[in-house]
Amino acid sequence: MSEENKDNWMIWEVFIRSRNGLSHKHVGSIHAPDAQMAIKNARDVYTRRSEGISIWVVESEAITASSPDEKEPLFTPADDKVYRHPTFYDIPDEVGHI
């Protein structure tokens, strides 16, 4: 931490579970010096209208993201694997719902 920004708090990504039964969802970020305050800041910033019942905070720097440059090798190979989808298989209507 340089002299210049020693009063700069680090960034945390905030994930909120809006109710039980749903996953935590990314809602934005906040600044905080530590995890304890990050949770409280996330609470004050992102749940003022009862939007959540559970909060995750993660240091932004700790997140590893896939690169958009790798989008094709990462994701296009899945596009032609149509046999992973139920509609790939022909079942006569008479059989009913499967």
Q: Please give the residue ranges that form the binding site for another protein (CB under 8 A).
A: 1, 5-9, 11, 27-34, 36-37, 40-41, 44-45, 48-49, 65, 67-68
Nearer to another protein, 23 or 67 (CB): 67
Nearer to another protein, 7 or 79 (CB): 7
Nearer to another protein, 49 or 85 (CB): 49
Q: Shortest Cβ distance from residue 72 to another protein (Å)?
A: 13
Q: Which residues of 50-70 are buried (b: 16+ CB within 10 A; e: fewer)?
A: eebeebbbbeeeeeeeeeeee
